[in-house]
Structure 1
Amino acid sequence: MCSAAVSVPLHQKIPHLLTLCGGLRHLNQIHGLLITSSFVRSPTLSSLLLRRATDFGCMDYAERLFFTSSPFDGVPPHVLLYNAMIRGYAHNGPQENSLLLFEEMLQRDLKPNSFTYPFVLDSCTRLGNYGYGKKAHGQLIKAGYDAVASIASPLFKFYVEMERSCIAAGSLVDARRVFDGMLTKSIGMWNKMIFEYVNLGDVESARRLFDDMLERDVVSWNSMLSGYVRAADVKRALDFFGRMPAKDIVSWTMMIAALSDAGNLIAARRLFDEMPERNVVSWNCMLASYTHHGKFQQACNLFLQMHSQGVTPDGYTFVSALSACAHLGDLGLGKWIHINLIRDGLRLGAKVGTALIEMYAKCSDIDSALKVFVKMTEKDVFCWNVMIKAFAMHGRIVDSLKLFESMIKKGLPLNDLTFMSVLFACSHGGLVQEGRRIFSSMEKDFKISPRMEHYGCLIDLLCRNGQIEEAQAVVKEMPYKPDIAVWGALLGACRVKNDIKSAEQAMEKIQELETDEGGVYVLLSNMYATSSQYNEASKARQMMEEKNIWKTTGCSSVLEASVFREAP
């Protein structure tokens, strides 16, 4: 015997139809059904229609329904309708309208409920309107909603963001008060509170909260571990890591980074090798550790191991590997990475493209560097800076200046590194007048205050071209205490002119800096020898030995700065 089918009333079908609704066209059909069936007068069904419209981001459509007399003609103001619109504005914006509708509710004597306040607080958080948020907090306390779980989370988030913005506050007093007042706290909420303490640098408060937890997950342990890592407390981090009941890839990678930052690459690599599983982030962490500490051959070896194990590299992988190739001058590996892994699309953006340009330029293949630059669809200012300096290093000074002028014509945002690069080009091209003009234009035309490094470039330019008196005048007038690079440039100019007296004065200033740069002593010794002052030359060499300073063959950090180093 077949049971008779149960007929479901239309008003019970509509909520289900709204959940199945796939877009504005279906929404219009359901809206028409509400009108023809007179269910449009139902606040519950009308609010569900509004809510679904806001889910699709159709705020214009929702506004037409809510604010016009038709199609909601005759529907009295109701808290459900206001809640639907306040929620819609909170999610889609403008958030100011959420607060305006909330005020309108109060003026109409409609009582906000536990579904209203979360979205009002969310809007206040997004707007940074902390005064209004505190006001809403006071109202919900009076209404007796302060213990409602659905309100506690947005309230907590509101105070966290408020106290983050108050730099002078330096604490999480109000956020902690809300946290302590929660009747029930999920592990996620405990983890959030610990994370905020860690983010603030208050590791001790984070640890006390961690110890109070009745139940923990791996996120709890990782949050606390990150506190010790951020504080560079490697000893406590290692102890904590050893006591973790469960570790994931994040835990291992975090600990590897901590050991690397502390300079203990051997321990970092040992931990890396012990990892039960790795992802591209953990490989990148170890790879970046090697390049950061100048272990470029180890970085290349690790990259090849990563490739052999079938791990798919990402942009961070390529930047580290290409940087290692650049420093080693390993054009073969760098080109292989480009052709076989990155290929021709440069799909990984400006950072990878810039790393390729740097690699080719440092490996003496300036034409390939230029090809990469031209093909790149996305270039940031640092990419332009690197190409300008790459041209200069390869003697293509005119191309450097053309690229600089092109940046200006395109209206690109120049920065202090742009001027470092182009002044470097002027210095190596002997363009004294052009260098003076560009230096003076920094502050005058581009509102960029010259740093010590810019003065150093100008002084180097003047010294290289025999303008030692003007260089000395710049040294006296600049608002910085001259560093070893400035005095080294002056000393080099004195050597060209064989100006022993000025060289001795520069050497006195260098000795005050207590530098271990051997190149300056060699320069002075050679000057004395050229002038047949062999006793003085011997004294300069003897001074090097007494100070235990040795000149590295073919290298002087005084006379040549790193080409591609980005200033801090």
Structure 2
Amino acid sequence: MHSSLEQRISNLLQKCTFTQLKQIHALITTTSLNRDIRISTKTLRRSTEFGGMDYSELLFSQMDEIFPADLLLWNAMIRGYAFNGPYDKCISMHHQMIQRGLKPNNYTYPYLLNSCAQIGIGCHLQGMKMHCQIIKVGFERAPAVSNSLLNFYMYMESSCDYFVLGVRKNEKPSDAQKVFDDMLLKPVQIWNRMIWGCINIGDVESARKLFDNMPERDIVSWNSMISGYAKIGNVEKANELFMQMSEKNVVTWTSMVGAFSNSGDLQTAKRLFLEMPYRNVISWNSMISSYTRHGKFQEALELFVEMHLQGVNPDGFTFVSALSACSNLGALEFGKWIHFYLIRDWCQLGVIVGTALIEMYAKCGDVDRAFKIFIKLGEKDVFCWNVMMKSLAIHGRTRDAIKIFFMMQGRGLKPNEFTFTSALFACNHGGLIEEGRQIFSSMKDLGISPKLEHYGCLVDLLGRNGQVEEAKLLVEGMPFEPDIAVWGALLGGCRVKGDLRLAEEVMERIDELKTNESGVYVLLSNIYASAGQWPKAVNAREKMEDKKIWKRTGCSSVLGVVNI
């Protein structure tokens, strides 16, 4: 009877819900089964599989009174913390085990090492101490333990800016390499993990050595190496391996499409794309995004249409690339069609796609529709707020842009440096001096050091509105050497104020930069002309000719600082 009930409970534990688990716990507590270590361990282990550890801690405290020194229970708890966190409690339980005289076994150490890796650099020494204990008790070659040791060192060494494979900076073999060399069983998956770990930090040379020394390879091995060469831009080597492969899958073909497109060879990338025996959504995304990145926006949209006609369901990455192409082409009607597509499957409209949609409408001139989408979006990240703020400012709705800036902070989001660039841009175009000063000052309060472009925006704002002396003091107090954009902004302020003396001082500093920017000379000539000093105006133009500097129609970097 006891054995039959035990078997039934074991079967139930494998598929029970959390509520049913509590009922099972009540049953074994009110029967003699609570003294069966196997049932207790299975119950405790199952309790850790629901994503939290509060109930497991309650069970453990009760069971520990009955089985005060049973390693099975401790392993179950350590396993639970390793999966659910907090990871430091996993390490803490290890210390308590040692104090109680319990010895960890080959089931304990993998979870401890994985927790050390998850905690990160602060637990590096702790993991190394565990490695010493593992060697002392002879578990270092147990497959589960050696795999966890390998994972631990690969993770830690990459975090510490060591080479994961091959050599450290001091030319000695890395700890991961030592563990790998000592492993008795090295299936192809372990070799692949080492290769990928090396590629992850850009050490493709060491990865190739491993690849060449593999006793057997699978398609993952080949794909990893092709991906590694593509990552460092060595298309020739990637293609060499591609041609050698007897069997290729969709990952192989897609990697090569990406490799050629990243190198700028879109013709070969498209040829391979068309030759692919099977294309999934990632393959289509790779080709569409390649066209978008290289400014082939019309081709990107044509491929998006073809993808739709072939019945391939696009994902968020597809929509972002297509909307970006619409933005750059000003293709509002095409963008509206994509929006209609998204409305039919609204779950596709995450924050990244939503932001791309906002930017598309704004760049195509419909900022009101962009703002409506912004309001409808649920969770919005900082980038989304930045795009909306910048879009409003570009369309002259500078007050609304500043409201967005303060609303964003009211929602608990911390602005980044791009947020401040957009906000200062809005102030500049709206002539909002006080708001600009306030926003610039608040940067330091939020722990953000103003960059050159932030100073340039404020200098331009002050100069445009006649605050030339304040703008000059700001330039003099900058922690950077002013560039042509900053000096140009100050020179623009001199024109507004009619300050010839300061304009000449600024031009002396600009001449020291030995720039070929035509805009500053044209601006200086106009300042002289406005003051009626025609000989000097002509002289400024002649200086341009002497230096062979020609004005480019509609293009100047003098105020480029605000062209964000």
**Map of 1:124 onto structure 2:** 116
Structure 2 matches for 1:438-477, cutoff 5 A? 438-443=439-444, 445-477=445-477
After superposition, the Cα gap between the structure-2 partners of 1:499 and 1:264, relative to the gap in structure 1 and judged at 3 Å, is: farther
- Give the TM-score normalised by the residue count of structure 2: 0.86
Does the 8 Å contact 1:366/1:394 carry over to 2?
yes
Secondary structure of residue in 2 paired with 1:48: helix
- Structure 2 vs 1, CA of residues 40 and 458 (structure 1 numbering), >3 Å: closer, same or farther? closer
1:2-13 → structure 2 map (5 Å cutoff): 10=4, 13=7
Give the 3 Å change call, closer, same or farther, for CA 383–51 of structure 1 in structure 2: closer
Provide the secondary structure at the position in 2 that maps to 1:82.
Answer: helix
- 1:322-377 per-residue CA deviation (whole Å, 9 max, x = no partner) reads 22222222211112211233459475222222222222222221211121122111
Q: 1:157 aligned to 127, 145, 151, which one?
A: 151
Aligned to 2:105: 113
User: How is 1:134-173 mapped onto 2 (pairs within 5 angstroms)?
Assistant: 134-167=128-161, 171=168, 173=174
Sequence identity percentage: 53
Q: Which runs of 5+ in 2 are unaligned?
A: none
Evaluate the alpha carbon distance shift between residue 268 and residue 498 of structure 1 in structure 2; reply closer, same or farther with a 3 A threshold: farther
Contact 2:10 2:42 in 1 (8 A): no
CA distance in 2, matches of 1:25, 1:500: 82
Distance 2:117 2:484 in 1: 50
Residues 517, 558 of structure 1: 8 Å contact kept: yes
What code does the residue aligned with 2:229 have?
Y
Equivalent position amino acid for 1:542 in 2: E
> Could you tell me how far apart the structure 1 residues matched to 2:404 and 2:328 are?
25
Cα separation, 1, equivalents of 2:451 and 2:248: 46
Letter in 1 for 2:450: P
Given that residues 125 and 158 in structure 1 are in contact (C-alpha distance below 8 angstroms), is that contact kept between their aligned partners in structure 2? Answer: yes
Q: Tell me, yes or no, if structure 1 residue 539 matches structure 2 residue 531.
A: no
| 1:99/1:537 CA distance change after superposition, 3 Å | closer
Q: Supply the distance in 1 between the matched residues of 2:205 and 2:40 (Cα, whole angstroms).
A: 51
Superposition pairs of residues 165-564 of structure 1, within 5 angstroms? 165-167=159-161, 171=168, 173-342=174-343, 345=346, 347-443=348-444, 445-494=445-494, 506=506, 509-510=509-510, 513=513, 517-520=517-520, 523=523, 532-533=534-535, 536=539, 539=542, 542=545, 546=548, 551=552, 553-560=553-560
Q: What is the CA-CA distance between 1:29 and the residue it aligns to?
A: 6.3
Deviation at 1:506, TM superposition (A): 4.7
2:78 aligned to which of 83, 86, 100? 86
C-alpha distance in 1, partners of 2:469/2:307? Answer: 56
Contact kept? 1:191, 1:220, Cα under 8 Å: yes
Partner-residue secondary structure (3-state), 1:486:
helix
Q: Displacement of 1:11 after TM fit?
A: 7.8
Residue-by-residue CA offset, 1:209-241 (whole Å, 9 max, x unaligned): 110001111211122222222223333233333
Q: Do the aligned partners of 1:14 and 1:45 also contact (CA within 8 Å) in 2?
A: no
Q: Kindly provide the CA deviation profile for residues 385-442 of structure 1, in whole angstroms up to 9, marking residues without a partner as x.
A: 2222222222222222222232343333122222211211121122233323322332
**Structure 2 vs 1, CA of residues 101 and 495 (structure 1 numbering), >3 Å: closer, same or farther?**
closer
Secondary structure at 2:186's aligned position in 1? coil
Offset from partner CA, 1:536-556 (integer Å, 9 cap, x none): 466356357x46x561x4343
Residues 342 and 516 (structure 1), Cα distance of their counterparts in 2 relative to 1, 3 Å cut:
farther
Q: For residues 278 and 546 of structure 2, what CA distance do their matches in structure 1 show?
A: 55
Deviation readout 1:56-107 (Å, 9 max, x if unpaired): 457455444443369x74x573333333333233323344444444445445
Aligned-pair RMSD on alpha carbons? 3.4
Q: Structure 1 138/159 Cα, relative in aligned 2: closer, same or farther at 3 Å?
A: same
- Rounded to whole Å, the distance in 2 between the matches of 1:297 and 1:303 is 10
Q: Which residue of 2 aligns with 1:4?
A: none
Give the distance between the partners of 2:297 and 2:201, measured in 1 at CA.
35
| Matched AA of 1:447 | G
**Contact 2:457-2:562 within 8 A present in 1 as well:** no
* TM-score of the two chains, using structure 1 as the length reference: 0.85
Matched, 1:77 2:69: yes
Assess if the C-alpha contact under 8 Å between 2:285 and 2:318 holds in 1. Answer: yes
The range that moved more, 385-394 or 190-199, is 385-394
Asked whether 1:51 is paired with 2:45, we answer yes
Contact persistence 1:475–1:482 (CA under 8 A): yes
Q: For 1:438 and 1:380, how far apart are their aligned partners in 2?
A: 20
Deviates more, 1:420-429 or 1:96-105: 96-105
Question: 1: CA distance between counterparts of 2:158 and 2:251?
Answer: 25
In 2, Cα distance between the equivalents of 1:334 and 1:221? 39
Change (3 A) 1:182 1:19: farther
Further displaced range: 367-376 or 475-484: 475-484
3-state DSSP of counterpart to 1:68: helix
Change (3 A) 1:522 1:332: farther
Report which stretch shifted further, 516-525 or 317-326: 516-525
Q: 334-343 or 216-225, which moves further after superposition?
A: 334-343
How has the CA–CA distance of structure 1 residues 255 and 524 changed in structure 2, closer, same or farther, with 3 Å as cutoff? farther
Alpha-carbon deviation of 1:185?
0.9
d(CA) in 1 for partners of 2:541 and 2:21?
A: 93
Write the distance in 1 (CA, Å) between the matches of 2:561 and 2:17: 61
The CA deviation at 1:525 is 6.2
Measured in 1, the distance between the counterparts of 2:332 and 2:195 equals 47
Name the CA distance, whole Å, in 2 between partners of 1:259 and 1:527: 52
Distance 1:28 1:554, change over 3 A: closer
2 CA distance for matches of 1:209 and 1:130?
26
Q: How many residues align?
A: 552
Query: Aligned partners of 2:475 and 2:32: how far apart in 1?
Result: 86
Q: Distance in 2 between matches of 1:495 and 1:275?
A: 61
Unaligned runs of 5+ in 1: 1-6
Inter-partner Cα distance in structure 2 for 1:294 and 1:277: 26
